[in-house]
């Protein structure tokens, strides 16, 4: 039998093969290193988490708001160590409403890190907006406003969605066309001054009496006012309208 022989490669061919093997090995190791050190898409994780959190914490069935959430990217200069467990949260002082931030921190890894990403939450829904010019001190009526879809999260002040929260109240500042009615733009309207003669309704367990009295303080609907009744007694009650104060006995 003839034995097969492995002929040695010529030195120049041997050098070429070794170079090719070395290059292939370096490419493989480089690929493995990139695969092992590749960072998760934290912005995508934060976006998914924020969308769920917004609906859970901000959803108001009565308002029927439509939410849009966007999350910015991490600083490209950051090099985060691999992490086995990442936690997302809302940093103190921030909120998922308008412009805020989402925190991302490593709770299980060789190196603990904590970063944050910018987040923008928009909440679209029906609201009352001014249809013309409203002057400071004016009493708002239905003719002053119209309903439109607006971004509730554009301002931190709550939207006055219920007409009873602004109708008949006084404008605290000038308002222009398209301005959304929000808390702080109106205040309850004063319906009588101190010294005005008013009617007092006193209500107790199973009975109700009424009589005349003199207002000792200005009267604002829904708020407390002091009155002096005909017998000289001074009491406080809730202002019902321009002529009536209700006292609970």
What is the CATH number for 210? 2.30.30.760
Which of 79, 106, 123 is the last residue before a domain boundary? 123
Whether residue 12 is contained in a domain is answered as no
Are 57 and 119 found together in one domain? Answer: yes
Are 117 and 131 found together in one domain? Answer: no
Whether residue 134 is contained in a domain is answered as yes
Instruction: Give the tens place of pLDDT for each residue, 156-205.
Output: 999 999 998 898 899 999 999 999 999 999 998 888 999 999 999 987 77
Which of 69, 101, 123 is the last residue before a domain boundary? 123
Are 52 and 104 found together in one domain? Answer: yes
**Alpha carbon of 117 to those of 13, 54, 81, 98, 158: distances in Å?**
55, 16, 17, 14, 25
Which of 139, 168, 187 is the last residue before a domain boundary? 187
For the chain, give the mean pLDDT: 83
Phi, psi of 42 (to 5 degrees): -65, -30
How high is the pLDDT of residue 62? 67
pLDDT at 132 over 50: yes
Are 65 and 137 found together in one domain? Answer: no
Whether residue 204 is contained in a domain is answered as yes
Tell how far CA 146 is from the center of its chain: 24
- In percent, the amount of the chain with pLDDT more than 90 equals 53
**Banded pLDDT at 19 (limits 50, 70, 90):** very low
How high is the pLDDT of residue 207? 80
Are 118 and 143 found together in one domain? Answer: no
Whether residue 150 is contained in a domain is answered as yes
Are 118 and 132 found together in one domain? Answer: no
Whether residue 143 is contained in a domain is answered as yes
Are 162 and 96 found together in one domain? Answer: no
How high is the pLDDT of residue 193? 92
Are 109 and 141 found together in one domain? Answer: no
Q: Quick one: CA torsion of 43, 47, 49, 55, rounded to 10 degrees?
A: 160
- In percent, the amount of the chain with pLDDT more than 70 equals 83
Are 51 and 95 found together in one domain? Answer: yes
DSSP result, the chain: -PPP--PPPPHHHHHHHHHHHHHHHHHHHHHHHHHHHPPP-HHHHHHHHHHHHHHHHH--TTT--EEEEEE-PPPTT--PPP-SEEEEEPPTT--SSEEEEEEEEEEESSS--EEEEEEEEEEEEEEEEE-S-B-TTPBP-GGGEEEEEEEGGGSSSPB--SGGGTTTPEESS-B-TTPBPBTTSEEPPEEE-TT-EEEEEEEETTEEEEEEEEESS-EETTSEEEEEETTS-EEEEEE-SSSEEEEE-
Distance CA 178, CA 234 (A): 46
Burial string for 206-219 (b: 16+ CB within 10 Å, else e) reads eeeeeeebbbebbb
If DSSP states are collapsed to H, E and C, what string results for 3-47?
Answer: CCCCCCCCHHHHHHHHHHHHHHHHHHHHHHHHHHHCCCCHHHHHH
Are 49 and 116 found together in one domain? Answer: yes
Instruction: Give the tens place of pLDDT for each residue, 70-125.
Output: 999 888 888 888 888 999 999 998 889 999 999 999 998 888 899 999 999 999 99
Distance CA 42, CA 86 (A): 9
Q: For position 160, which CATH number holds? A: 3.90.1210.10
Decide the pairing of beta strands 197-204 and 244-248. parallel
Q: Per-residue pLDDT averaged across 45-74, rounded?
A: 86
| Chain position carrying tokens 């604002």 | 220
Are 62 and 111 found together in one domain? Answer: yes
How high is the pLDDT of residue 39? 65
| Chain position carrying tokens 């005909």 | 230
- Count structural domains, the chain: 3
Whether residue 27 is contained in a domain is answered as no
pTM of the model: 0.67
pLDDT at 20 over 60: no
Whether residue 36 is contained in a domain is answered as no
Instruction: Quote the domain boundaries for residue 175.
Output: 124-187
Are 243 and 227 found together in one domain? Answer: yes
Distance CA 247, CA 202 (A): 5
Whether residue 21 is contained in a domain is answered as no
**Banded pLDDT at 224 (limits 50, 70, 90):** very high
């Amino acid at each position: 039998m003839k034995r097969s022989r492995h002929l040695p490669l010529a030195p120049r061919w041997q050098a070429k093969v070794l170079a090719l093997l070395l290059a292939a090995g370096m490419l493989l190791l480089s690929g493995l290193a990139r695969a092992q050190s590749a960072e998760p898409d934290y912005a995508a994780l934060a976006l998914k988490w924020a969308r769920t959190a917004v609906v859970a914490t901000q959803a108001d069935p009565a308002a029927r708001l439509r939410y849009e959430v966007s999350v910015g990217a991490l600083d490209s200069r950051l090099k985060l160590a691999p992490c086995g467990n990442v936690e997302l949260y809302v940093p103190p002082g921030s909120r998922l409403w308008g412009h805020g931030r989402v925190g991302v921190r490593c709770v299980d890894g060789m190196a603990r890190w904590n970063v944050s990403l910018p987040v923008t939450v928009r909440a679209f829904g029906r609201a009352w907006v001014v249809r013309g010019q409203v002057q400071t001190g004016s009493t708002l009526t239905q003719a002053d406003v119209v309903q439109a879809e607006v971004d509730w999260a554009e301002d931190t002040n709550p939207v006055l969605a219920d007409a009873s929260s602004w109708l008949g109240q006084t404008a605290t500042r000038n308002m222009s066309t398209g301005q959304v009615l929000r808390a702080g733009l109106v205040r309850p309207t004063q319906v009588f001054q101190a010294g005005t003669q008013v009617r007092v309704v006193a209500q107790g367990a199973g009975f109700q009496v009424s009589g005349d009295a003199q207002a000792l303080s200005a009267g604002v609907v829904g708020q407390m006012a002091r009155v002096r009744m005909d017998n000289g007694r001074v009491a406080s009650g809730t202002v019902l309208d321009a002529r009536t104060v209700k006292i609970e006995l």
